[in-house]
């Protein structure tokens, strides 16, 4: 009897200890008690930062009266903030207006008088004109519908000498540019994106990833016999995971493996022109444990002013960079709280909101921009538009909210430089670790200083030289006289 | 003979401009004790320079993270290569009919470091007032200092061991290989020691927790 009470108490005590222990472990790092947002400093350390976006609500299929989503895999938001969700499991497209109210669902289209349906579609793109492009994966085709949902064309089974005879066309993601050219990311294609001309004929591949060779593996391969070699993994280029198109028609692409450049911006020739002038190459997380591995980027969304965000499926984080490649902010995560995901698959910006689609849960998390995020974006925007005065004011405001935002100090430095406050400007550039800017400001400061104090500097120098010469002459004279007297 | 205090700086300066004379003097004519003292001072000054350089040199050329600056490590970065070089060189030259004693090798090596000291020290301050374009001068003079030091090492080795130039070059290259070996052995040794220590600690913990 005694023993059993002790047992009970023991369990309770242990439970309490565990609770205390875990509650301590799970406590958020940030001081404001909100979600733990962070940033990477110039030195690559993770430093705390205020949240740029905050999750406000979750949208599910049931909530919008469209029936639950079943494994939705892609999403697109148009310029006027209409939201299209590709509900793959149900083979339909759900359209919502800017207030996230249901407008319509498209689950079939008419082709030659017959009703046709989608089979596990994976990719969706809505052009500026409202044309819908659906990568109808298991039907091995890309369906092009107009705004009313009527068929424009079907792109299927490309014929080309570039393709192997047994080629299986499995489109996964799709975008369309202003000239109605269609770019398709297809499963199992390592040669880049497939480009289709406006009439739906296959024209070429663009933007292939280069093969990345591990030197050690290469060495082993050299020593291996033919049979062994056939057992080994082939050196294949990494596949792309997603693509998006910006206003100017450049394709932004992400690749899943941590290659050299997991994010690319491709021009019409397929050359990577992404600017990487930030403190670190845009790549998602810089610090990671060996178990977790590096970020696996699976979606990219290009906003205005060259800002773009990427989605990391590994830890559910969203990284936003500006056009020069500076990391602006990080938010999101894997977990069970609001603002965290289970299996995030798609990321879209809708004005000031950010939408993240979760495949397993079949829901969209809506993030609203915070004051901090808005200030930062506005600053980047006005700098992009050439309004440097405005941008420096906004950068100063952003830096006030986040002292760890080294990037902002350069903006302040630039404006001080134009206001001819060189010394201050150099200090701000230094704080921002911006060596080029610092050098420019410092050079001007030095010139100014020299000009101001030229007279006494020169006279000082002259006097010093004169004094040195006199000392030398006197000493020589002295030595000569002592030598002479010694003789 | 000049006053000893003057000798302290005049001799190293003489040596770096007239290395053949200087090293000959070092081996056969100089007071070994004073020379050793000078050599140690050179090394000490180089350590100080290295620390100051890491901490205070201009923003444009300083890529050190101030958060992780460790003066003791900076000292080791000077001391370990010099000592490794001396030990490796001595070990080799005893096998290769070198005439140098260990103290001579150490002294000649330290004296060869004088250009590094002379060029790096002013740059700590100069780097504060240069612009990005002018960092080219910094990198150039750095390269110059290294080249000078290597030349002095060469002459020093040749004189101290009484080698032919070809043999000196060979010895120096072999010394580098020997240094690599030593580094490997040291790492091996330390990692083994670490393992032993952790093993003992584990056993101790086991016993304590059981008892």
How confident is the model at residue A11, as a pLDDT?
61
Q: Does the pLDDT at position A446 exceed 50?
A: yes
- Distance (Å, whole) CA A228 – CA A238: 23
| Interval A384-438: pLDDT, tens | 998 888 998 999 999 999 988 998 999 899 888 988 899 999 999 999 998 999 9
Q: Does the pLDDT at position A150 exceed 50?
A: yes
How confident is the model at residue A25, as a pLDDT?
45
Q: Which of B2, B69, B132, B134 to mutate to test the interface with A (most CBs of A within 10 A)?
A: B132
| Interval A382-395: pLDDT, tens | 999 988 889 989 99
pLDDT mean over A5-28: 53
CB A350 within 8 A of CB A369: no
User: Which residues on chain A are in Cβ contact (under 8 Å) with B129?
Assistant: 446
| Interval A282-335: pLDDT, tens | 888 888 888 888 888 999 999 888 999 999 998 899 999 999 999 999 999 898
Compare CB distances from B59 to A45, A430, A440 and report the shortest one's residue. A430
How confident is the model at residue A269, as a pLDDT?
85
Rounded to a whole number of angstroms, the distance from the CA of A330 to the nearest CA of chain B is 24
| Interval A55-90: pLDDT, tens | 999 999 888 888 889 999 999 999 889 999 999 999
Q: What are phi and psi of A323, to 5 degrees?
A: -60, -25
pLDDT mean over A129-141: 90
- Residue A212: pLDDT band (50, 70, 90) is confident
pTM value is 0.80
Compare CB distances from B60 to A43, A45, A438 and report the shortest one's residue. A438
User: Which residues on chain B are in Cβ contact (under 8 Å) with A430?
Assistant: 59
- Distance (Å, whole) CA A303 – CA A307: 5
Residue ranges, chain B, pLDDT below 50: 1
How confident is the model at residue B1, as a pLDDT?
47
- Distance (Å, whole) CA A271 – CA A210: 11
- Distance (Å, whole) CA B10 – CA B31: 15
Interface of B with A in 84-113 (CB under 8 A): none
Rounded to a whole number of angstroms, the distance from the CA of A41 to the nearest CA of chain B is 11
B129–A contact, CB cutoff 8 A = yes
How confident is the model at residue A29, as a pLDDT?
45
- Distance (Å, whole) CA B135 – CA A452: 25
Q: Closest-CA residue in chain A for B68?
A: A43
Rounded to a whole number of angstroms, the distance from the CA of B108 to the nearest CA of chain A is 32
Contact: A439, B129; criterion CB under 8 Å: no
Contact: A43, B133; criterion CB under 8 Å: no
Contact: B59, A443; criterion CB under 8 Å: no
Q: How far is CA B200 from CA B116, B187, B188, B194, B204, in A?
A: 45, 20, 18, 10, 6
Contact: B129, A438; criterion CB under 8 Å: no
How confident is the model at residue A24, as a pLDDT?
46
What Rg value do the Cα atoms of chain A yield, rounded? 31
- Distance (Å, whole) CA A409 – CA A402: 11
User: Which residues on chain A are in Cβ contact (under 8 Å) with B132?
Assistant: 435-436, 438-440
Q: Does the pLDDT at position A487 exceed 80?
A: no
Six token digits for residue A169: 């066309």
Contact: A439, B60; criterion CB under 8 Å: yes
- Distance (Å, whole) CA A240 – CA A193: 8
One-letter-per-residue 3-state SS of chain A: CHHHHHHHHHHHHHHHHHHHHHHHHHCCCCCCCCCCCEEECCCCCEEECCCCEEEEEEEECCCCCCCCCCCCCEEEECCCCCEEEEEHHHCEEEEECCCCCEEEEECEEEECCEEEECCCCCEEEECCCCCEEEEEHHHCEEEEECCCCCEEEEEECCCCCCCCCCCCCCEEEEEECCCCCEEEEECCCCCCEEEECCCCCEEEEECCCCCCCCHHHHHHHHHCCHHHHHHCCCCCCCCEEEEEECCCCCEEEEECCCCCCCEEEECCCCCECCCCCCCCCCCCCCCCCCCCCCCCEEEEEECCCCCEEEEECCCCEEEEECCCCCEEEEEECECCCCCCECCEEEEEEECCEEEEEECCCCEEEEEEECHHHHHHHHHHHHHHCCCHHHHHHHHHHHHHHCCCCHHHHHHHHHHHHHCCCHHHHHHHHHHCCCHHHHHHHHHHHHHHHHHHCHHHHHHHHHHHHHHHHHHHHHHHHHHHHHHHHHC
Nearest to B7 by CA among B46, B33, B43, B45: B33
Contact: A435, B60; criterion CB under 8 Å: yes
Q: Does the pLDDT at position A466 exceed 90?
A: yes
User: Which residues on chain B are in Cβ contact (under 8 Å) with A439?
Assistant: 60, 131-133
For chain A, what is the mean pLDDT?
Answer: 86
- Residue A238: pLDDT band (50, 70, 90) is confident
pLDDT mean over A28-56: 76
Q: What is the per-residue DSSP string for chain B?
A: ---HHHHHHHHHHHHHHSHHHHHHIIIIIS-HHHHHHHHHHHHHHHHHHHHHHHHHS-TTT----GGG--HHHHHHHHHHHHHHHHHHHHHHHHHTT----HHHHHHHHHHHTHHHHHHHHHHHHHGGG--GGGHHHHHHHHHHHHHHHHHHHHHHHHHHHT--HHHHHHHHHHHHHHHHHHHHHHHHHHHHHHHHHHHHHHHHHHHHHH-
How confident is the model at residue A1, as a pLDDT?
42
Six token digits for residue A435: 């060596």
Compare CB distances from B131 to A43, A430, A439 and report the shortest one's residue. A439
B2–A contact, CB cutoff 8 A = no
User: Which residues on chain B are in Cβ contact (under 8 Å) with A436?
Assistant: 132
Six token digits for residue A440: 């420019």
- Distance (Å, whole) CA A414 – CA A396: 12
Rounded to a whole number of angstroms, the distance from the CA of A184 to the nearest CA of chain B is 44
Q: Closest-CA residue in chain B for A441?
A: B131
Question: pLDDT > 90: what percent of chain A?
Answer: 39
How confident is the model at residue A32, as a pLDDT?
42
| Interval A335-370: pLDDT, tens | 888 889 999 999 999 888 999 999 999 999 999 999
Rounded to a whole number of angstroms, the distance from the CA of B167 to the nearest CA of chain A is 35
Rounded to a whole number of angstroms, the distance from the CA of B57 to the nearest CA of chain A is 13
How many Cβ pairs within 8 Å bridge chains A and B?
Answer: 21
Beta strand pairing status for A74-77 and A46-48? unpaired
| Interval A245-294: pLDDT, tens | 988 889 999 987 766 788 999 988 888 899 998 899 888 888 888 888 88
How confident is the model at residue A28, as a pLDDT?
42
How confident is the model at residue B4, as a pLDDT?
61
Q: Which of A47, A439, A457 to mutate to test the interface with B (most CBs of B within 10 A)?
A: A439
Interface of A with B (CB under 8 A): 43, 45, 430, 435-436, 438-440, 442-443, 446
User: Which residues on chain B are in Cβ contact (under 8 Å) with A45?
Assistant: 67
């Amino acid at each position: 009897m005694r023993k059993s009470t002790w047992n009970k108490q023991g369990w309770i005590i242990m439970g309490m200890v565990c609770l205390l222990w875990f509650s301590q472990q799970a406590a958020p790092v940030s001081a404001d008690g909100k979600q733990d947002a962070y940033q990477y400093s110039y030195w690559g350390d993770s430093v705390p930062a205020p949240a740029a976006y905050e999750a406000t609500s979750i949208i599910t299929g049931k909530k919008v009266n469209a029936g639950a989503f079943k494994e939705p895999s892609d999403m697109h938001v148009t310029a006027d903030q209409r939201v299209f969700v590709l509900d793959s499991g149900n083979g339909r497209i759900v359209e919502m207006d800017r207030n996230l109210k249901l407008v319509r669902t498209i689950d079939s289209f008419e082709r030659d008088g017959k009703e046709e349906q989608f089979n596990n579609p994976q990719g969706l793109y809505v052009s500026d004109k409202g044309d819908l492009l659906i990568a109808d994966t298991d039907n091995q085709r890309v369906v092009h519908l107009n705004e009313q949902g009527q068929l424009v064309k079907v792109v299927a089974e490309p014929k080309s000498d570039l393709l192997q005879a047994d080629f299986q066309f499995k489109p996964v993601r799709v975008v369309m540019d202003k000239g109605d050219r269609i770019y398709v990311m297809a499963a199992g294609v390592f040669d880049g994106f497939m480009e289709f001309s406006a009439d739906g004929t296959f024209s070429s591949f663009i933007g292939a990833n280069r093969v990345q060779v591990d030197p050690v593996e290469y060495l082993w391969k050299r020593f291996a016999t033919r049979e062994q070699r056939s057992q080994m993994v082939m050196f294949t280029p990494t596949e792309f995971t997603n693509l998006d198109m910006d206003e100017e028609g450049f394709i932004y692409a992400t690749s899943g493996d941590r290659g050299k450049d997991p994010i690319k911006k491709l021009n019409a020739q397929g050359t990577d022109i992404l600017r990487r002038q930030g403190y670190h190459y845009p790549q998602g997380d810089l610090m990671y444990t060996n178990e977790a591995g590096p970020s696996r980027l699976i979606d990219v969304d290009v906003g205005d002013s060259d800002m773009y965000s990427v989605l990391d499926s590994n830890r559910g984080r969203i990284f936003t960079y500006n056009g020069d490649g500076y990391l602006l902010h990080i938010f999101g995560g894997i977990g069970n709280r609001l603002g965290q995901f289970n299996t995030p698959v798609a990321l879209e910006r809708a004005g000031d909101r950010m939408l993240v689609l979760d495949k397993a849960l079949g829901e969209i998390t809506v993030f609203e921009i915070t004051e901090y995020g808005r200030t930062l974006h506005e600053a980047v925007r006005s700098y992009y538009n050439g309004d440097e005065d405005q941008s420096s004011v906004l950068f100063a405001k952003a830096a006030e909210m986040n002292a760890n935002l080294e990037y902002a100090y350069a903006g302040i430095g630039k404006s001080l430089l134009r206001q001819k406050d060189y010394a201050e400007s150099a200090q701000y550039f230094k704080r921002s670790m911006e060596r080029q800017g610092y050098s420019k400001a410092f050079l001007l400061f030095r010139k100014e200083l020299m000009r101001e104090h030229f007279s006494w500097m020169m006279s000082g120098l002259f006097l010093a030289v004169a004094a040195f010469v006199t000392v030398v002459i006197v000493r020589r004279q002295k030595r000569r006289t002592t030598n002479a007297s010694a003789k | 003979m000049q006053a000893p205090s003057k000798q302290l700086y005049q001799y190293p300066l003489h040596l770096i401009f007239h290395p053949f004379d200087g090293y000959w003097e070092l081996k056969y004519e100089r007071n070994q004790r004073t020379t050793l003292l000078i050599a140690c001072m050179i090394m000490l000054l180089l350590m100080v320079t290295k620390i100051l350089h890491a901490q205070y040199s201009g923003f444009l050329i300083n890529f050190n993270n101030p958060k992780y600056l460790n003066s003791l490590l900076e000292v080791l970065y000077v001391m370990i290569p010099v000592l490794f070089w001396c030990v490796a060189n001595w070990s080799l030259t005893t096998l290769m009919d070198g005439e140098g004693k260990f103290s001579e090798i150490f002294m000649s090596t330290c004296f060869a470091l004088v250009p590094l000291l002379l060029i790096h020290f002013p740059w700590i301050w100069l780097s504060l007032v240069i612009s990005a374009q002018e960092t080219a001068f910094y990198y150039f003079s750095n390269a110059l200092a290294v080249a000078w030091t290597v030349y002095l090492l060469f002459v020093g080795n040749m004189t101290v061991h009484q080698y032919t130039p070809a043999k000196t070059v060979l010895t120096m290259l072999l010394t580098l290989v020997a240094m690599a070996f030593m580094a490997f052995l040291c790492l091996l040794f330390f990692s083994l020691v670490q393992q032993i220590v952790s093993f003992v600690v584990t056993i101790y913990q086991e016993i304590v927790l059981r008892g």
